[in-house]
């Protein structure tokens, strides 16, 4: 069809990326899984190394369809970055793994994450926020991580808790060092902590324990750095089946925009097994 981009070239890149110990603190139903923020970093670094002109700080049409599990004792993950180079300059990047059945010796390919890099997806501009005039519902950090978002200590990066309104969420997010280095997209921890804040909002106002499963646009204006604190503002947009949509803004000192995620999709990925505790539910909606 006219107006649709065409694929010029397909490339498969081998990935062997390290598993730092802190990743074992990111667990779903008792099993460590690769966070969405880490998947984005792996794909961005691989893509830019192969295609240096690609603006990997701008991405969109993201999907995180399947968890990539991390087994105990594993120091490195073998995966692939499948690239589709389009004629309009955009690059589709897919994080894949291959597994082989021991009995049937059948090789299966799983697609864990898909991103489209390029400025043509939209250019969000930094914006100003108007705080609600009412008092928000505050949840302390200890309560968040003990009762709502049960990740290990490496991911306890909501500082001073999270404050909720139906139309807004605010939180202070932190970038720990954790023995690693900041990636090409900056520290993964502030955005990951903002996803935790989104999960808390969803439990109160949507009745859903949501995980990030996709977004429309992400733009990194200036990378976040370890040992720094940032402010996160989340703007809920609408409820969808088994989930909700919202925008995420992360700012630094003086309100300087660091990054934005527009159209973040948070959904229940437990098949209905995980439910918010009754005390967090907003009984007015």
Domain that holds residue 181: 137-280
Q: pTM for this one?
A: 0.94
Sign of the alpha-carbon torsion through 28, 32, 65, 57 = positive
Strand ranges (DSSP E) for 190-274? 211-220, 228-240, 243-251, 257-267
- The residues near 94 (Cβ < 8 Å, ≥ 6 apart) are 43, 81, 82, 83, 84, 111, 113, 114, 115
User: Considering the domain boundaries, does residue 125 fall inside one?
Assistant: no
pLDDT tens column, 209-240:
999 999 999 999 999 999 999 999 999 999 99
Identify whether residues 97 and 160 lie together within a single domain: no
CA dihedral 90, 120, 35, 20 (to 10 degrees): 60
Query: What integer pLDDT is reported at residue 99 of this predicted model?
Result: 84
pLDDT of 285 > 60? The answer is: no
Query: What integer pLDDT is reported at residue 1 of this predicted model?
Result: 42
Q: Which of 86, 120, 154 is the last residue of a domain?
A: 120
Neighbours of 29 (CB within 10 A): 10
User: Considering the domain boundaries, does residue 132 fall inside one?
Assistant: no
pLDDT of 124 > 90? The answer is: no
Identify whether residues 176 and 274 lie together within a single domain: yes
pLDDT of 197 > 60? The answer is: yes
Read off the tokens for 20: 């730092």
Identify whether residues 74 and 106 lie together within a single domain: yes
pLDDT of 11 > 80? The answer is: yes
Structural domains in the chain (count): 2
Query: What integer pLDDT is reported at residue 106 of this predicted model?
Result: 79
Query: What integer pLDDT is reported at residue 173 of this predicted model?
Result: 98
pLDDT tens column, 233-278:
999 999 999 999 999 999 998 889 999 999 999 999 999 999 999 9
Identify whether residues 75 and 164 lie together within a single domain: no
pLDDT tens column, 36-49:
999 999 999 999 99
pLDDT averaged over every residue in the chain: 93
């Amino acid at each position: 069809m006219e107006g649709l981009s065409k694929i010029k070239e397909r490339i498969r890149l081998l990935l062997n990326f390290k598993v730092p110990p802190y990743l074992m603190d990111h667990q779903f139903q008792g099993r460590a899984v690769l966070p969405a923020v880490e998947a984005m970093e792996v794909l961005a670094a691989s893509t830019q190394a192969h295609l240096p002109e690609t603006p990997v700080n701008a991405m969109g049409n993201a999907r995180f369809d399947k968890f990539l599990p991390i087994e105990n004792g594993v120091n490195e993950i073998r995966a692939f970055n499948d690239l589709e180079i389009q004629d309009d300059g955009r690059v589709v990047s897919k994080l894949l793994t291959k597994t082989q059945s021991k009995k049937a010796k059948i090789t299966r390919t799983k697609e864990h994450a898909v991103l489209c890099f390029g400025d043509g997806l939209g250019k969000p501009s930094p914006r100003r926020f108007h705080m609600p005039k009412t008092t928000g519902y505050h949840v302390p950090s200890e309560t968040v991580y003990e009762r709502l978002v049960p990740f290990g200590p490496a991911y306890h990066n909501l500082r001073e808790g999270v404050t909720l309104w139906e139309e807004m969420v605010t939180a202070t997010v932190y970038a720990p060092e954790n023995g690693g280095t900041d990636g090409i997209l900056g520290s993964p921890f502030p955005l990951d902590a903002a996803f935790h804040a989104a999960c808390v909002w969803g439990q109160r106002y949507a009745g859903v324990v949501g995980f990030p499963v996709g977004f429309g646009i992400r733009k990194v204006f200036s990378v976040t750095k370890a040992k720094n604190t940032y402010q996160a503002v989340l703007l809920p947009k609408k409820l969808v089946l088994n989930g909700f949509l919202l925008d995420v803004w992360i700012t630094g000192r003086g309100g300087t925009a660091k990054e934005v995620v527009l159209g973040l999709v948070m959904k229940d990925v437990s098949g209905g097994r995980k439910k918010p505790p009754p005390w967090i539910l907003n009984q007015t909606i």
